[in-house]
Amino acid sequence: MDKVPTLKMGDTLILTIQVELHDKTAIRLQEDILERVYDTKPQGLVIDVSAVGVVDSFLGRMLSDTATMVRTMGVETVLVGIQPEIAITLQEMGLELKGGAFSP
């Protein structure tokens, strides 16, 4: 998997997912996020999913779990760029972004 671009601006780490994520790549992404948060010690994490066209139950759970893990590390997470159909899917799956917030 190509590295997902990340940018640190002040105390915030910004990550843009620009590829479709399959199970293996999603797990690797989660590991990369946790490593990057550990290395850079940001106050906040912004995950941009505006280029993600499909969120299945695995990916939705992975995003929710990642936010929870990052929160355990003392970092708030905001998920931005959510397309309406993805918001509906997340709601229907009953997923919450624990330790963070969803943003359109």
The percent of residues above 90 in pLDDT, for the chain, comes to 38
CATH number at residue 21: 3.30.750.24
46 assigned to some structural domain: yes
1 assigned to some structural domain: no
* Domain range for 51: 6-102
Q: Are 39 and 8 in contact (CB under 8 A)?
A: no
29 assigned to some structural domain: yes
Higher pLDDT, 104 or 61: 61
Residue 104 has a pLDDT of 46
Tokens at residue 19, please?
Answer: 């590829």
pTM of the complete model: 0.83
18 assigned to some structural domain: yes
Q: Are 77 and 44 in contact (CB under 8 A)?
A: yes
In total, how many domains does the chain have? 1
Q: How far is CA 61 from CA 18, 29, 40, 98, in A?
A: 19, 13, 24, 11
Q: What is the pLDDT of residues 54-87, one digit of tens each?
A: 888 888 888 889 999 999 999 999 989 988 888 8
Residue 88: which pLDDT band, with cuts at 50, 70 and 90? confident
Answer whether residue 99 shows pLDDT above 50: yes
Residue 93 has a pLDDT of 81
Q: How far is CA 2 from CA 19, 26, 29, 87, in A?
A: 9, 12, 10, 26
